[in-house]
Copies of this chain bind each other. A is one copy, B any other.
């Protein structure tokens, strides 16, 4: 029999499984499965791919590929690239995991934590200074506000240019025993 090269198939299978895994992960996070899969593909492939590559590999429609890619670019985790003498647009995923994570945190803070804090402040102002049943209510709200202010502050530090420090902190926190 002809000597077949098993490597490409194994690699492809590994990629496919990674894509599936990452896709599931994504849907647990409010990111649509397809969008997460597109990101997984770009990340694991390493080199830039064009829309058709993505469509073919993931078996999705052109519209879906276009929308997912655009969203990923907006999230700042994928960037556009061009190849000389080729009119197609190529896309590549940022390869640094911490950068990726920072982008996700930034985006989620903006969409979730900030508006939440704003609402909580408004709600607290409704009953501020009121006594009776409202005092306990106010206490609960204040505790919540305090908590989310901490979340926001930690998040800010994490995504800030010198958020590198927090990366180191996380690494240390994960190792120390006390």
Contacts and interface: CB of A to CB of B under 8 A. Distances in A.
A99 to B, nearest CB: 11
Nearest to A116: B25
B143 A97 contact: yes
Contacts of A157: 173-174
A14 B173 contact: no
Contact of A28 (B44, B112, B122, B153): B112
Interface string A134-159: 10110011011011011001100100
Interface of A: 7-8, 10-11, 13-15, 17-18, 21, 25, 28-30, 43-44, 46, 95, 97-98, 101, 111-112, 116, 119-120, 122-123, 126-127, 130, 132-134, 136-137, 140-141, 143-144, 146-147, 149-150, 153-154, 157, 165-166, 169-171, 173-175, 178
Contact of A119 (B21, B97, B98, B136): B21
A14 B126 contact: yes
A173 B147 contact: no
